[in-house]
Structure 1
Amino acid sequence: MRNDWGGQVLPHPTGRRPFIGDVLGTDGARPLQSTMRRAQGLGPIFELKVFGQKLVFVGGAHLAALMCDEARFAKGVAPAVDALRDYVGDALFTAYDDEPNWRLAHDLLLPAFSRSAMRRYHPVMLQTVRELFDYWPSTPEPVDVARDMTKLTLETISRAAFSRDFGSFENELPHPFVAAMVAALKAGRRKGMLGSVPGGGLLRRRIDRANAHHVTYADGLLDDLIAQRRAEGEPDERDLLGIMLGSAHPVSGQRLDDLNIRHQILTFLVAGHETTSGALSFALYHLSRHPEALARAQAETDAVLGPDPDAEPTFEQVAKFRYLRRVLDESLRLWPTVPAFPRTPREELTLPTGHRMRPGDWALVLTAMAHRDPAVWGEDADEFDPDRFLPERSHGRLPHSYKPFGTGERACIGRQFALHEAVLVLSRVLHRYDIAGDPDYTLQITERLTLMPERFTLTLRPRIPAASAASSPAAVAEADAVPDDGPPSSGGCPVAH
């Protein structure tokens, strides 16, 4: 993939070697985190050279915001994304801008995330939380947060996508389909890293052969599911699969073929559970480390839900959890679960740094760095402070400075799904339980398809909601500031497409 930037040499870490470039010093298990460490002092744009591949990164908030200008920039295609096309083809996330299936799928699926559709998903989300609460007493304490949030979000998205239950709470081992999906995605990530490595083509073919049975199993299961739903006759729109099977484009009359439907389902399964489970896990981590924030969050749940620990929020009440939403926003600012997105210019241009950039050149906007730029977020940018997202503190902030799941038309088709689910889950967990983390735990982050806290556990204790909190002036005032039918504010989503 050409990314030579016309032969320009951008700032880069010291220690570059002939032939291998900047490979030394890169942590293959945690490439993002090692890149962030090595980027210190390099400025808003820098490069790493890995054998013959130039990887350009943007970590400065102002330059990242410039690259979110849709009139001048478009979605680029980085090696890791391109490698996933072997698995999910031209689905929403991996399609090129000029591929017709992207526009077709985007337009057909927009109704799947309308307000009326979200009302249909709300009972599904409540049911999976009930199953989580039934599951926790059967597991040893402390609970593995990433494991259990992943179980929860996978069940939610699979039921919303194609009304399928994977039995995540009934079995300790994941369903074979889940194991196959994860293995295929790990293989795609490895292949993306091998594009410029000598002998990389051979290694990629070996990975394909080793992973072929996983791909065959996952593809076969979904193909059978699609065929079964088609055989049922006139499809309904109870889930994403029904919408894709039964809908035609309102203008062209085109429909998605079965292969692309399979690719879209895989994309929603992966993106819809990985990102949301990571966001929930990071939010719970930060709350467990900040007692004042936890107390405010629980006071808000008590004000909205009342004294019954088993109370479930109505669809309209989810929008009233304004502090919980700020907790999520701040958690995604510090560790966006999708930590980067590629951008390429529509025409040749000169960046404010003086570097020339042509169509075909791409840079990865590192939101995990841009979200911590002190020039935008202040000298305490590394600190957890949900009130950064209060309206009065957000007013005047640099536009496009907060992009946890991409930008522009290719960004967030499922935003409301992710936010509704995450706020709902947090409200129920914090209303029902007091949570406590291991005081000796130091945050460790695993880099799989997305970012996730590693080996983070919580001790849960049944909680009696404070009856007095229901009349707390601050909590009530904030909850009542949102009309009963008011939507959540905009933000991240499960599918950066």
Structure 2
Amino acid sequence: MTSMLQTSFMQESTRMAREHGPVFKREFFNLEFTFVTGAELVGELSDDRRFEKHVLPALEVARPAIGDGLLTAYNHEPNWRKAHDLLMPAFSQSAMRMYHPLMLDVCRQLIEAWDRAAGHESVHVTDSMAKLTLEVIGRTGFGYSFGSFERATTHPFVVALEDVLNHGQRLVTRPPMAGGFLGKRAAERNEENIAYLNGIVDEVMANRVGGDHGNDLLGLMLDSDVLDPVNVRNQVLTFLAAGHETTSAAMSFTLYYLAADPEIMDRARTEVDSVIGDAEPTFEQVAKLRYLRRAIDESLRLWPTAPGYSRVAKEDTVLGGKYEMPAGEPFFVLLPALHRDWVWGDEPERFDPDRFLPEQVRSRPGHAFKPFGTGIRACIGRQFALHQIALVMSRILQRYNATLPADYRLRASEGLTFSPIGLTLDLTPR
């Protein structure tokens, strides 16, 4: 899935941050951003007593499809807190242990597909990771398989979801569509896509009615009378939309950085061989892959999967003692710039997993690293994502030697997420 606009506005803004930060304004089409890029100011913005989440226009336009789901709900809407409190147990350590075998099963499907390519053709990394993460969230969260690795083409659900998100992005970054056939047809197609998405999720929900609801995300919601059926559907669509694309991008960037530096890849592989050996990893073993986890964090530092998040003041205030912040006016935390702030040293573009050694982490401000947002509205699935990424990376390191094409240079698309453009790997079995 590649919901994106062909722009590099956030990347351009990141390059400008060293000169213009820690607070500066830029316009993008009909939007204005007040960027915040300094670790100390971001730490202040993280205070939930003074500030709260702002639903960006790029998220607002997704509300016709996912309504008041966790990602797009306004702070005054009650369902986000109800859903958050209800679903927290689904992301506990015991729940992660339950999801682990399902994640392993999807990893087997990836390996079967990559084994067929190894040694004679390149694998398309981002496409493969998107298939994997869609299957993982579908099966662990809702007991539904999209059959991604059995299909020659993208599942119609993913196509429809991508079309809906792209339609929204076009609306928010351009003047309202002119009348006439093309604008009307785009709106009609969007409505058709939303109806199709709703129908698929309603079918999945209907299959659970009257039986054992299970103890996954959907089961928790159906067993409770806290959320109405429409909001349950919104939450399912939210996890499918946000949960698989972000994680697949994080995996893709991590694979790029491992393949780009053979010394780092060898160090990560040595750890995997030492902790796990040849067998499939257990839940406990994944947690012991500390160097690999540092490499994942370093990849998320350089390429957080989302460009940032927005905060508003609950009352008129002054940020950092000098930047007036009227109540309700959004300030956008530009994550790639925050993650390259001066607190990261003189070479912030260099990939170095040891930045995340415990003593290095303790030496930096606590809010210098925010790939999953902040506060109570931060990503609820972050531990799920991190376990999945480490598990998949460990299986790939066990199985293959992976190299980049000689002429590949990393470029990233951007929209709701960042993602590497055209990333392929050449594989040889170990």
| Interval containing the TM-score (normalised by the shorter chain) | over 0.9
1:201 & 1:352 partners in 2: Cα distance?
46
Alignment partner, residue 88 of structure 1: 66
Alignment partner, residue 242 of structure 1: 219
2:417 & 2:27 partners in 1: Cα distance?
23
Alignment partner, residue 446 of structure 1: 413
Comparing 35-44 and 142-151, the one that deviates more: 35-44
1:50 & 1:417 partners in 2: Cα distance?
34
2:196 is equivalent to residue 217 of structure 1: yes
Q: 1:298 aligns with which of 259, 262, 269?
A: 269
Contact 1:142/1:458 (<8 A) preserved:
yes
How far apart are residue 236 of structure 1 and its match? Answer: 2.5
How far apart are residue 210 of structure 1 and its match? Answer: 3.1
1:432 & 1:358 partners in 2: Cα distance?
54
1:272 & 1:188 partners in 2: Cα distance?
18
| 1:61-72 equivalences in 2 (<5 Å) | 61-72=39-50
2:258 is equivalent to residue 287 of structure 1: yes
Contact 2:317/2:325 (<8 A) preserved:
yes
Comparing 158-167 and 446-455, the one that deviates more: 446-455
1:159 & 1:407 partners in 2: Cα distance?
28
Residues 57-93 of structure 1, C-alpha deviation per residue, up to 9 Å, x if partnerless? 1122222222112222111122111111121000001
Comparing 75-84 and 27-36, the one that deviates more: 27-36
2:406 is equivalent to residue 428 of structure 1: no
2:57 & 2:420 partners in 1: Cα distance?
25
How far apart are residue 200 of structure 1 and its match? Answer: 7.6
How far apart are residue 35 of structure 1 and its match? Answer: 2.8
How far apart are residue 205 of structure 1 and its match? Answer: 6.6
Amino acid across the alignment from 1:217: Y
Alignment partner, residue 137 of structure 2: 157
Alignment partner, residue 480 of structure 1: none
Contact 1:339/1:404 (<8 A) preserved:
no
Alignment partner, residue 437 of structure 1: 404
2:55 & 2:293 partners in 1: Cα distance?
31
Q: Secondary structure at the match of 1:95?
A: coil
2:116 is equivalent to residue 117 of structure 1: no
Amino acid across the alignment from 2:368: S
How far apart are residue 443 of structure 1 and its match? Answer: 0.3
Name the CA shift for 1:394/1:359 in 2 (closer, same or farther; >3 Å): same
Contact 1:87/1:188 (<8 A) preserved:
no
1:312 & 1:97 partners in 2: Cα distance?
42
Name the CA shift for 1:344/1:206 in 2 (closer, same or farther; >3 Å): farther
How far apart are residue 170 of structure 1 and its match? Answer: 0.8
Contact 2:55/2:73 (<8 A) preserved:
no
Q: 2:160 aligns with which of 175, 180, 183?
A: 180
Comparing 132-141 and 147-156, the one that deviates more: 132-141
Residues 37-58 of structure 1, C-alpha deviation per residue, up to 9 Å, x if partnerless? 4545212111123465432111
Which TM-score applies when normalising by structure 2? 0.94
If you compute each CA radius of gyration, which structure gives the higher value, 1 or 2? Answer: 1
Alignment partner, residue 299 of structure 2: 331
Contact 2:144/2:204 (<8 A) preserved:
no
Amino acid across the alignment from 2:387: H
Q: Secondary structure at the match of 1:380?
A: coil
2:330 is equivalent to residue 359 of structure 1: no
| 1:451-466 equivalences in 2 (<5 Å) | 451-463=418-430
Name the CA shift for 1:214/1:359 in 2 (closer, same or farther; >3 Å): same
Name the CA shift for 1:77/1:109 in 2 (closer, same or farther; >3 Å): same
Q: 1:315 aligns with which of 272, 279, 283?
A: 283
Alignment partner, residue 142 of structure 1: 122
How far apart are residue 199 of structure 1 and its match? Answer: 5.8
Comparing 278-287 and 181-190, the one that deviates more: 181-190
Q: Secondary structure at the match of 1:228?
A: helix
Contact 2:202/2:233 (<8 A) preserved:
yes
Name the CA shift for 1:136/1:50 in 2 (closer, same or farther; >3 Å): closer
Contact 1:333/1:404 (<8 A) preserved:
yes
Amino acid across the alignment from 1:100: P
Residues 406-452 of structure 1, C-alpha deviation per residue, up to 9 Å, x if partnerless? 00010031122111111111111101111111122110111243111
Residues 95-145 of structure 1, C-alpha deviation per residue, up to 9 Å, x if partnerless? 111211011101110111112211110000000000111112334621111
CA RMSD of superposed structures (Å): 1.9
Contact 1:282/1:453 (<8 A) preserved:
yes
| 1:341-352 equivalences in 2 (<5 Å) | 341-352=309-320
How far apart are residue 31 of structure 1 and its match? Answer: 2.6
Higher helix share: 2
Residues 227-256 of structure 1, C-alpha deviation per residue, up to 9 Å, x if partnerless? 2211x335222x2111110124xxxxxx21
Name the CA shift for 1:60/1:32 in 2 (closer, same or farther; >3 Å): same
How far apart are residue 198 of structure 1 and its match? Answer: 6.2
Name the CA shift for 1:158/1:349 in 2 (closer, same or farther; >3 Å): same
Alignment partner, residue 337 of structure 2: 369
Q: 2:109 aligns with which of 113, 131, 151?
A: 131
2:229 & 2:172 partners in 1: Cα distance?
26
Q: Secondary structure at the match of 2:62?
A: helix
Contact 2:126/2:249 (<8 A) preserved:
yes
1:430 & 1:219 partners in 2: Cα distance?
38
Q: Secondary structure at the match of 1:173?
A: coil
2:329 & 2:186 partners in 1: Cα distance?
28
Amino acid across the alignment from 2:273: D
Structure 2: segments with no counterpart, 5+ residues: none
Contact 2:257/2:351 (<8 A) preserved:
yes
2:228 & 2:56 partners in 1: Cα distance?
26
Report how many residues are paired: 423
2:331 & 2:244 partners in 1: Cα distance?
26
Q: 1:259 aligns with which of 230, 235, 238?
A: 230
Structure 1: segments with no counterpart, 5+ residues: 1-26, 249-254, 464-497
Amino acid across the alignment from 1:165: S
1:332 & 1:416 partners in 2: Cα distance?
14
